[in-house]
Structure 1
Amino acid sequence: MCGWCYGATPLIEVLQANPVIELVMHPGGMIPGRAIEESFRRHILQADSRIAAMTGAKFGERYQAKVSGHEPLILDSYQTALAVVVAQEIAGKGFAMLKAIQSAHFIDGKDTSDLAILQQLAVDLGQGEAEWEKAIAKTKLRLTEIISSSQALMQKLQVRGFPTLLIEKTNQWVTLDHAAFYGHQTGWRDYIAKALGA
């Protein structure tokens, strides 16, 4: 649900494609399901404008109309985190689910707090409905624990904000300066190669 995470997706795609890297995503639980007030809507639109300018990310007309409109706007990082975790656990498709959710939200303006919409995204990725529903029900029981674990890791590593990208190598954590490479994937690849010691 974070616009900056959406803007960073092309950089994360570079990490995902690198055969040396195992991409592990940790949901931070930025927005527990709630209606977004008018002042935060304005903040989102202003931030989206900056994100688009810096990263080249596209924000669809339906999404922009939804955020700038007067109908209730519900954002829920917990439901989307649940979908990403389940997609990863049952099919190894967590990142594919993340991208599908981002497209549904930021391009199509769909309500990604709706589990039915998230299930349809999973089905579109090749997941069977029955297995998905069973896994969602099971994982939902430990979602708070998963998010708390992510938040504890952030505190331990003294990082904050979304997204935060780190490389763990030989039991050492290195924070990646991804913001310097928004819109510059070639430079980002070189930066990652150096961070890996390649």
Structure 2
Amino acid sequence: MTDPSAPDSLHVTYLFDPLCGWCYGAAPMVRQLAATPGITVELAPTGLFSGDGARPMDQGFAAYAWSNDQRIERLSGQRFTEAYRQKVLNAPALNARPQMFDSGPATLALTAVSLTAPDAERDALNAIQEARYVDGRDIVSPARLAEILREAGLDAAAGLIATPSDALVAANRARTNKARQMMAALGAQGVPTLVVTDASGRRMLRSNALFGGFDDLLAAIRAA
């Protein structure tokens, strides 16, 4: 792991939520950043859309989300497919049982990966995001999330979220609390947000830095 105290090293904390469309849009830039020598990217799920931040899915919210998603696609090139629109956003209109917009289960799944295969967490996040936005799959159900993790070869994590232990729930709470405390300390208003740490301290980058050119992002990080 890169030492943030080293003069030429940078530690970047990526504050995100797995149900955030903008975070999905930022995924290619985050992947490229993580592959850049001298930079370590730490995933920090905030749980913003879980607990009190969760809400019922309804037609009004679905229409708002789809409009927003089209803007994200234009800016990032990330796909928001018709399968996602019909099977996820329009699902409440097709089913009598109400569904929730709740990132709690997906956040717990990522914590399970962080405990069992930490080097695979970024790939797990990508798999969960693509399952929703490309394949139109349910990432609110723990059972469906376990399927996605198994398909990614993460059987141990899948087993953990099938029957969450007190230790997993506590670890998840600690991660999200830490991320939210960082947001509050730096005045972050939402996600995605990057926090840059090096020998001189810790600074926040605005989320729009993730939706331009990569060279511009890298320059902003190094100048932060």
Interval of TM-score (by shorter of Structure 1 and Structure 2): 0.7 to 0.9
Q: Report if the CA contact (8 A) 1:11-1:178 is conserved.
A: no
> More helix per residue: 1 or 2?
1
Q: Report if the CA contact (8 A) 1:76-1:112 is conserved.
A: no
The reply to whether residue 165 of structure 1 matches residue 194 of structure 2 is yes
Residues 91, 75 of structure 1: CA spacing in aligned structure 2 closer, same or farther, 3 A cutoff?
Answer: same
Letter in 2 for 1:97: A
Q: CA RMSD in A?
A: 2.2
Structure 2 residue corresponding to 1:4, chosen from 22, 40, 44? 22
Question: TM-score, normalized by length of structure 2?
Answer: 0.76
The reply to whether residue 128 of structure 1 matches residue 149 of structure 2 is no
Residues 190, 38 of structure 1: CA spacing in aligned structure 2 closer, same or farther, 3 A cutoff?
Answer: closer
The reply to whether residue 52 of structure 1 matches residue 78 of structure 2 is no
Q: Could you say which residue in structure 1 is the equivalent of 2:105?
A: 79
Q: Report if the CA contact (8 A) 2:57-2:89 is conserved.
A: no
SS across alignment from 1:23: strand
Q: Could you say which residue in structure 2 is the equivalent of 1:20?
A: 38
Q: CA deviation at 1:173?
A: 1.8
The reply to whether residue 35 of structure 1 matches residue 62 of structure 2 is no
**Match runs of 1:119-158 below 5 Å:** 119-129=146-156, 132-134=158-160, 136-137=164-165, 138-158=167-187
Letter in 2 for 1:22: T
Q: Report if the CA contact (8 A) 1:31-1:75 is conserved.
A: yes
Residues 181, 73 of structure 1: CA spacing in aligned structure 2 closer, same or farther, 3 A cutoff?
Answer: same
Letter in 1 for 2:204: T
SS across alignment from 2:128: helix
Q: CA deviation at 1:29?
A: 1.3
SS across alignment from 2:39: coil
Q: Could you say which residue in structure 2 is the equivalent of 1:114?
A: 141
Residues 11, 149 of structure 1: CA spacing in aligned structure 2 closer, same or farther, 3 A cutoff?
Answer: same
Q: Report if the CA contact (8 A) 2:191-2:207 is conserved.
A: no
Residues 144, 194 of structure 1: CA spacing in aligned structure 2 closer, same or farther, 3 A cutoff?
Answer: closer
Structure 2 residue corresponding to 1:188, chosen from 206, 214, 218? 214
Contiguous gaps of at least 5 residues in structure 1 = none
Q: Could you say which residue in structure 1 is the equivalent of 2:205?
A: 176
- Whole-Å separation in 1 of the counterparts to 2:190 and 2:145: 25
- Whole-Å separation in 1 of the counterparts to 2:217 and 2:171: 36
Q: CA deviation at 1:196?
A: 3.2
Residues 77, 147 of structure 1: CA spacing in aligned structure 2 closer, same or farther, 3 A cutoff?
Answer: same
Identity over the aligned pairs, expressed in percent?
Answer: 26
Q: CA deviation at 1:178?
A: 4.7
- Whole-Å separation in 2 of the counterparts to 1:16 and 1:103: 19
Q: What is the number of equivalent residue pairs in this alignment?
A: 193
SS across alignment from 1:173: strand
Residues 61, 155 of structure 1: CA spacing in aligned structure 2 closer, same or farther, 3 A cutoff?
Answer: same
> More strand per residue: 1 or 2?
2
Q: CA deviation at 1:149?
A: 2.0
